[in-house]
Amino acid sequence: MASSFANLKQIREKLLGYQRLEAVARLAHISADRMRAIEDEGSAPSVYEIEELARVYGIDPDILADEPIRLAPGDGVEILTLREEFRDVGDGVRARIVAAANAARDLTWLRRKIGGTDLRAKFLEERPRLRPAQKGEQPHRQGTRLAADLRSQLTLGTAPVPSVRDLVTVSFPSMTLLYADLTEEGPAGISFVDPIRGPVIVLNLAGKNKNAAVRRFSLAHELCHLLADWQGSEPLAVVSGYFTESRLAMEQRANAFAVRFLCPPSRFVRIAKRLPKADAVREVAAFGLPYSAVRLYLKNETGRLLPPTPPSEWTTASTDARWIEPERPLGIDGFPIDVVPPERRTAVAEAAARAYSGRLISRDRFADLLGVTPAAPVEQVLDFVGLDRPIERSSAT
């Protein structure tokens, strides 16, 4: 059953957690006085104001225009806003997370527009059947077992994964990988699966994810959420931090999964016994593992505590050029319009370009989906993705 909120003020305070009206007013380009008039004095918002608030809140404007405001069934935005990691970040980071969720929502709409199918159903078909958790099994042991199971089903052997980016996109084609600037203080990644947004993984381009080894770990972490935490019926929305001592079993499981997925159990067990000796450091770092992640994993599983500062051998190996190109975010660099947000430069831009090229959407709508004004040279995006410009209909004679 869809959740219901009495008015816009409840949406702001109870759903999104914005306690300061001024913060939303600034993000929505509405004056604080006007926001007070809408929320407290019963003044009806204009179409423009509803659209701006819908963008900030991550809710369809048609839904936001009615009172009471009833979220669409299965909308993962409510689960997202309940996450402690979402509630704990500042207004600016929270707005970036919602912007990424909006991009995922628009992508689903676009795919339906150009004749796509429900990717959730396809993802259910293509994802491997991993063994469920045993009663009383600790989260980090669950993650270890899931990683071994997945490596076996994907026949990865014991070698390092050359590119987690390519493995995920090739092995799970119904899953979409987006990138966003969630700021230095923002989360490492976000995962969504619901009728409106998924399945989608969003990786932060800022923060520790600037390091290619950390970025491949973050992607493996998010993959665990989609494979192990989505049950197929209820929506999923997860906000993930960087190697945190989370109380959430799902975060502990995903961290352990990422460590053991990148470095197979048969190799990791033997190497870990010799840490922090230099030869063992070089060997495990060669799998493209961040030091902080291994340190946290060993603390949870064995109680061993490695030194807080990584050895020089680890720093050298984890910044090795072998990871930079294989884990590079595709479609971000070289995008022809600089002001297009990164979360809209890849899959969203391609789907919107296909819809515009096929005359399924207007030029203004194309610009809106790219996050720019109609004055922007949006035709350059068609050239960038290799599509023809829409053919104008000839006028009747």
Q: Are residues 182 and 296 in the same domain?
A: yes
Average pLDDT over residues 343-352: 97
In a domain, 104, yes or no: no
Instruction: List the domain range (segments joined by +) for residue 139.
Output: 110-324
Q: Are residues 130 and 244 in the same domain?
A: yes
Whose tokens are 């922007």? That residue is 376
Q: Are residues 189 and 268 in the same domain?
A: yes
Tell me the pLDDT of the chain averaged across its residues: 89
Last residue of a domain, one of 73, 89, 121: 73
Position 290 scores a pLDDT of: 87
Whose tokens are 């929505």? That residue is 28
Short-list 371, 374, 337, 352, CA closest to 96:
371
State the CATH number of the domain containing residue 64: 1.10.260.40
In a domain, 88, yes or no: no
| Share of residues in the chain with pLDDT > 90 (%) | 59
In a domain, 253, yes or no: yes
Q: Are residues 362 and 295 in the same domain?
A: no
Q: What is the pLDDT of residues 230-259, one digit of tens each?
A: 987 788 999 998 877 666 788 889 999 999
Task: Read off the pTM.
Answer: 0.91
Q: Do strands 176-180 and 4-5 pair parallel, antiparallel, or not at all (unpaired)?
A: unpaired
The answer on pLDDT for 74 being more than 60 is: yes
The runs of H, that is alpha helices, within 132-228 are: 139-153, 164-171, 212-224
CA atoms of 390 and 92, how far apart (whole Å):
37
Q: What distance lies between CA 228 and its chain's CA centroid?
A: 16
The answer on pLDDT for 90 being more than 80 is: yes
Q: Do strands 189-193 and 69-70 pair parallel, antiparallel, or not at all (unpaired)?
A: unpaired
Q: Are residues 316 and 347 in the same domain?
A: no
Position 397 scores a pLDDT of: 35
Across 199-327, where does the E strand assignment appear?
200-204, 236-240
Q: Are residues 54 and 141 in the same domain?
A: no
In a domain, 83, yes or no: no
In the chain, the number of structural domains is 3
* Range with the poorest average pLDDT among 90-99, 238-247, 370-379, 382-391: 238-247
Bridge partners (DSSP) listed for residue 144:
none
| Share of residues in the chain with pLDDT > 70 (%) | 96
Position 395 scores a pLDDT of: 47
Average pLDDT over residues 80-105: 89
Q: Are residues 61 and 148 in the same domain?
A: no
pLDDT band of residue 200 (cuts 50, 70, 90) is: very high
Non-local (6+) Cβ contacts of 265 within 8 A are 144, 147, 148
Position 389 scores a pLDDT of: 93
The answer on pLDDT for 215 being more than 50 is: yes
In a domain, 127, yes or no: yes
Last residue of a domain, one of 295, 324, 353: 324
| Helical packing angle, 265-272 and 139-153, nearest 10° | 130
Non-local (6+) Cβ contacts of 59 within 8 A are 11, 69, 71, 75, 77
Q: What distance lies between CA 343 and its chain's CA centroid?
A: 9
pLDDT band of residue 181 (cuts 50, 70, 90) is: very high
Last residue of a domain, one of 291, 324, 357: 324
Which of the pair, 249 or 179, is modelled with greater confidence? 179
The answer on pLDDT for 80 being more than 60 is: yes
Tell me the three state secondary structure of residue 238.
Answer: strand
Position 1 scores a pLDDT of: 46
The answer on pLDDT for 396 being more than 70 is: no
Q: What is the pLDDT of residues 274-286, one digit of tens each?
A: 888 888 888 888 8
Q: Are residues 16 and 165 in the same domain?
A: no
* Range with the poorest average pLDDT among 109-118, 209-218, 304-313, 387-396: 387-396
In a domain, 201, yes or no: yes
Which of the pair, 37 or 273, is modelled with greater confidence? 37
Q: Are residues 164 and 271 in the same domain?
A: yes
Q: Are residues 148 and 275 in the same domain?
A: yes
CA atoms of 106 and 155, how far apart (whole Å):
35
In a domain, 100, yes or no: no
Q: What is the pLDDT of residues 8-54, one digit of tens each?
A: 999 998 888 888 899 999 999 999 999 999 999 889 999 999 999 99
Q: Are residues 184 and 315 in the same domain?
A: yes
Got the DSSP string for 175-189? SEEEEE---TTS-SE
Q: Are residues 190 and 69 in the same domain?
A: no
Q: What is the pLDDT of residues 132-145, one digit of tens each?
A: 777 788 888 899 99
In a domain, 94, yes or no: no
Position 242 scores a pLDDT of: 83
